[in-house]
Amino acid sequence: MQDHLLPRDVPVCLIEKDGTARGDAQYRMPDADHLLDAYRALVEGRRINDQASALVRQGRLAVYPSSHGQEACQVAASLVLGERDWLFPTYRDSVAVMGRGVSPADAMVLLAGDWHSGYDPAEHRVAPQSTPLATQLLHAVGFAQAAKHRGEDTVVLALCGDGATSEGDFHEAMNFAAVFHVPVVFFVQNNEFAISVPLSRQTASPSLAHKAIGYGMPGQRVDGNDVAAVLAVLGEAVDRARAGGGPSLVEAHTYRMQAHTNADDDTRYRERDEVRAWIDRDPLTRMRAYLTASGALDAHAEEQIAAGAETIAAELRAALNADAELDPEDLFRFVTAKRSPQLEEQWELLRGEIARAAASDMSTAGGSR
Amino acid sequence: MTIAHDDFRLDAAAPTMQTMTMAAALNLALADAIREDSNVVVFGEDVGALGGVFRITDGLTERFGEERCFDTPLAESGIVGTAVGMAMNGMRPVIEMQFDAFALPAFEQIVSHVAKIGNRTRGSMRMPLVIRIPFGGGIGGVEHHCDSSEAYYAHTPGLTVVSPSTPQDAYSMLRAAIASPDPVIFLEPKKLYWSKGEVDTSLTHDLGTARIAREGTDVTVLAYAAMVPVALEAAEIAASEGRSVQVIDVRSLSPFDDKLVTAAVRATGRAVVVAEAPGYVSVASEIQARVFERCFEYLEAPVRRVTGFDTPFAPPKLEHFYLPDADRILDAIDSLHFTESDEES
């Protein structure tokens, strides 16, 4: 009876892992220009992931949750949104954040430890990256409710992983969104693991997308390593939300190729053979094979794309190798719009400590002691 | 149902001074805020047709429509979390948590997001939302309906935590809370919902300030919420025994009005802090510590606390044993090392 709400048994796929196109009655293949843009973003996203991981090893980033292997999801999440739309990302979605125009350096402020968020959300229409799981899904719903209240046609895309679907806030967000019929698309990147815990410990449902029907919204499954399919399925969900069709849930089946973060040892919870098997499904090689075969990509274009990605990586390196100027008064500046007398007193205390430390440094340097 | 604009003006032209209950004052504050700012929305559980279990939102849906006052699914984290998103997108949500302990499922949203988003985004996103929580005991409520959670919120940087004790403050403080660019935990003492007083709707309020509820020269009693009338009762009895008790309504738990409190205690040299929450690691402890730090050289006696016991809130038939009363406050006052010369002065 509710067939239109049910996801497919097999995730939507438009380009096979060997690069051949597959026809689909419901979802159209994006056009060649669109796919070439997506391929460029995939290459840049991979380069950013690898560069950021290297910066962790060099001690320039405190931590980096890599989306290596999930770039098709990241790229599609930013490409399907219009200028007025909003993205609500998690800590693993830095590549999607940059896809919205946030500079690599600004996107890394949280992970570098300079501040809790490095960009102005309103400037790029990107909410701060959320570290607690699923909490941002509710923010996305409320944000969309406000847009609907004012009669704006903003669509909000809310990202989360498979682990987040076990949280109470995931349920509350889906339920509120459906009850209030707001223009939100929930996009779950199912990468098989919540740190070390496999999907089988998160859910007993046939798929995460199947959860949607329980809330009265459509759910769909998509091959998360096929950027063409993710663009088509997410794009359709965004268009429907914009047209007043309400919320929906898209589950991308993908895989986290690297450890959760540099602090994680993934050899303790998964076999290398399992990881290696996913190399064959890499989103970059698949799209490269398709575009090359169709003549949209040649060696020259490949070189240009690679050079562009190198430039971005160099910018990121340079930004993180230069220590940001930090102002200790910032600790007190933004706690509330109006600074309390208590915070004024505490800043005076810290200022005194800093002044005394500086005076002591100077006297030591001058050898006067 | 939509009300014509002229009706609003009629309302606004009504006398600004009238006697009403605290519940009515809160209702009036919500109605005035909704009318004056199109970004203000009120929502929660049962706030629509029912008008809230305490009727604080009575008639708002009828007067202003479902867009401005509406019921949500029964989910506290959902209520707070969506309010966060609305505030991010320019609205000023005023949400109701129905009962103090029912707010706990929303605690993560309040602590991790409501309190921090302004700071996280270096002030580019503010959280102008108000979380109204009926709190405290004294109404014979059953378990989970009478808790005092103020210390959890006051302990969280980024949250303004206030509680009125009079209909006037209820009105002015709620208006100020809604107007504030920062998130406000607005604790409504259930026991005082039906207490009456004059309300002048033209009076404004600066959140963060305490109020001298009664002048006195021998000892300062610092109280808030439902304990203010109890402190005033104790002061009245003390006066009949020849002792002059000053009562301060702290009313802003965070930030705290050190200036007024410090000056007051220095003048009397003695202080008692009264709260109905458990005393261990409490707002009362914090007030006591601050008074000690700032007034030590002026004190004639240790600063005493009179609080609820460190037990889960009492069942209805035992709550009168739990809640501080005038006698317990008077005993504390009597222990403040008064000498005969004090008594004469």
Please state whether A97 falls in left (phi above 0), alpha (psi between -120 and 50) or beta: alpha
Question: Which DSSP category does B84 fall into?
Answer: H
**Which residues from chain B sit within 8 angstroms of residue A148, using beta carbons?**
none
Task: Tell me what pLDDT residue B7 has.
Answer: 37
The shortest C-alpha distance from B115 to chain A (Å) reads: 8
Summarize the confidence of residues A43-66 as an average pLDDT.
95
Q: A47 an active-site residue?
A: no
Residue of B nearest to A147 (CA): B89
A146 vs B90: CB contact, 8 Å cut-off? yes
Residues B304 and B338: their CA atoms lie apart, in Å, by 14
Tokens of A334: 């933004």
Beta strands across the sheet bearing B211-214: B211-214, B245-249, B219-223, B271-278, B304-308
Task: Tell me what pLDDT residue B342 has.
Answer: 63
Residues B333 and B331: their CA atoms lie apart, in Å, by 5
Residues 153-172 of A with CB under 8 A from B: 168-169, 172
Task: Tell me what pLDDT residue B10 has.
Answer: 36
Angle of helix A168-180 versus helix A135-149 axis, rounded to 10:
20
Name which of B67, B78, B157 is nearest A176 (Cβ-Cβ).
Answer: B78
Residues B204 and B173: their CA atoms lie apart, in Å, by 8
Query: Does the pLDDT at position A1 exceed 70?
Result: no
H helix runs in A19-153, sequence order: 32-57, 71-79, 94-99, 104-107, 109-112, 121-124, 135-149
Tokens of A221: 């499954």
pLDDT tens for residues B187-207?
999 999 999 999 999 999 999
pLDDT tens for residues A318-366?
999 988 889 999 999 999 998 999 999 999 999 999 999 999 888 776 5
Residues B93 and B10: their CA atoms lie apart, in Å, by 25
What is the longest distance spanned by two Cα atoms in chain A?
87
Which amino acid is residue A31, in one-letter code? D
Task: Tell me what pLDDT residue B212 has.
Answer: 98
> With an 8 Å Cβ cutoff, is A120 touching chain B?
yes
The whole-model pTM stands at 0.94
Average pLDDT over chain A, rounded to an integer: 95
pLDDT tens for residues A160-186?
999 999 999 999 999 999 999 999 999
Question: How many alpha carbons lie under 13 Å from residue B4 in its C-beta half-sphere?
Answer: 3
C-alpha angle A331/A337/A341, rounded to 5°?
70
Tokens of B212: 């001298």
> With an 8 Å Cβ cutoff, is B209 touching chain A?
no
What is the 3-class SS of B270-313, one letter each residue? CEEEEEEEECCCCHHHHHHHHHHHHHHHHCCCCCEEEEECCCCC
By the 8 A CB rule, do A254 and A190 touch?
yes
Q: Which long-range contacts (CB under 8 A, 24 or more apart) does B5-14 make?
A: B8/B35, B11/B35
**Which residues from chain B sit within 8 angstroms of residue A89, using beta carbons?**
none
Question: How many alpha carbons lie under 13 Å from residue A74 in its C-beta half-sphere?
Answer: 31
Residues A253 and A230: their CA atoms lie apart, in Å, by 10
**Cα dihedral A172→A177→A178→A181 (10° resolution):** 160
Q: How far is CA B253 from CA A324, B185, B250, B258, in A?
A: 37, 10, 7, 11
Task: Tell me what pLDDT residue B2 has.
Answer: 33
**Which residues from chain A sit within 8 angstroms of residue B93, using beta carbons?**
142
Residue of B nearest to A152 (CA): B89
Residues A109 and A273: their CA atoms lie apart, in Å, by 35
Tokens of A54: 């290297």
| Residue B336: count of CB within 10 angstroms of its CB | 21
Residues A96 and A73: their CA atoms lie apart, in Å, by 8
Bridge-based pairing of strands A86-88 and A156-161 is parallel
Residues A17 and A226: their CA atoms lie apart, in Å, by 8
Query: Does the pLDDT at position B13 exceed 60?
Result: no
Residues A110 and A261: their CA atoms lie apart, in Å, by 14
> With an 8 Å Cβ cutoff, is B66 touching chain A?
no
Which amino acid is residue A346, in one-letter code? Q
Nearest to B303 by CA among B313, B292, B294: B292
Residues 319-358 of A with CB under 8 A from B: 330, 333-338, 340-342
Catalytically annotated residue among A68, A260, A281, A286 = A260
Q: How many helices (H) and strands (E) does chain B have?
A: 14, 14
Chain A and chain B share a number of CB contacts under 8 A equal to 137
Report ipTM (2 d.p.).
0.93
Which amino acid is residue A236, in one-letter code? E
Nearest to B88 by CA among B133, B118, B120, B110: B118
- Residue for token pair 């069709």: A245
Using a pLDDT cut of 90, give the percent of chain A over it. Answer: 93
By the 8 A CB rule, do A156 and A140 touch?
yes
Residues 169-198 of B with CB under 8 A from A: 180-182
Residues A322 and B221: their CA atoms lie apart, in Å, by 56
pLDDT tens for residues A89-147?
999 999 999 999 999 999 999 999 999 999 999 999 999 999 999 999 999 999 999 99
Residue of B nearest to A129 (CA): B120
**What is the SS3 assignment for B49?**
coil
Cis peptide, bond prior to residue B164, ω within 30 of zero: no
By the 8 A CB rule, do A222 and A157 touch?
no
By the 8 A CB rule, do B209 and B185 touch?
no
By the 8 A CB rule, do B230 and B273 touch?
no
Query: Does the pLDDT at position B146 exceed 70?
Result: yes
Render the burial of A97-115: b for 16+ CB within 10 Å, e for the rest. bbbbebbbbbbbbbbbebb
Residues B251 and B161: their CA atoms lie apart, in Å, by 9
Residues A111 and A168: their CA atoms lie apart, in Å, by 26
> With an 8 Å Cβ cutoff, is A216 touching chain B?
no
H helix runs in chain B, sequence order: 5-12, 22-36, 60-64, 76-88, 107-108, 117-120, 150-154, 167-179, 227-240, 258-268, 283-295, 319-322, 326-334, 340-344
Name which of B117, B121, B126 is nearest A337 (Cβ-Cβ).
Answer: B126
By the 8 A CB rule, do B257 and B296 touch?
no
pLDDT tens for residues B278-325?
999 999 999 999 999 999 999 999 999 999 999 999 999 999 999 999
Tokens of A360: 């002591």
**Which residues from chain A sit within 8 angstroms of residue B90, using beta carbons?**
146, 150
Task: Tell me what pLDDT residue A236 has.
Answer: 98
DSSP letters spanning A197-220: EEGGGT--SS-STTHHHHHTS-EE
Summarize the confidence of residues B216-237 as an average pLDDT.
98
Residues A122 and A203: their CA atoms lie apart, in Å, by 35
pLDDT tens for residues B213-222?
999 999 999 9
- Residue for token pair 């349920």: A171
Using a pLDDT cut of 70, give the percent of chain A over it. Answer: 98
H helix runs in B206-257, sequence order: 227-240
pLDDT tens for residues A196-206?
999 999 999 99
Q: Specify which residues B134 forms β-bridges with.
A: B188
Q: B113 an active-site residue?
A: no
Task: Tell me what pLDDT residue B339 has.
Answer: 82
Task: Tell me what pLDDT residue B338 has.
Answer: 86
A149 vs B126: CB contact, 8 Å cut-off? no
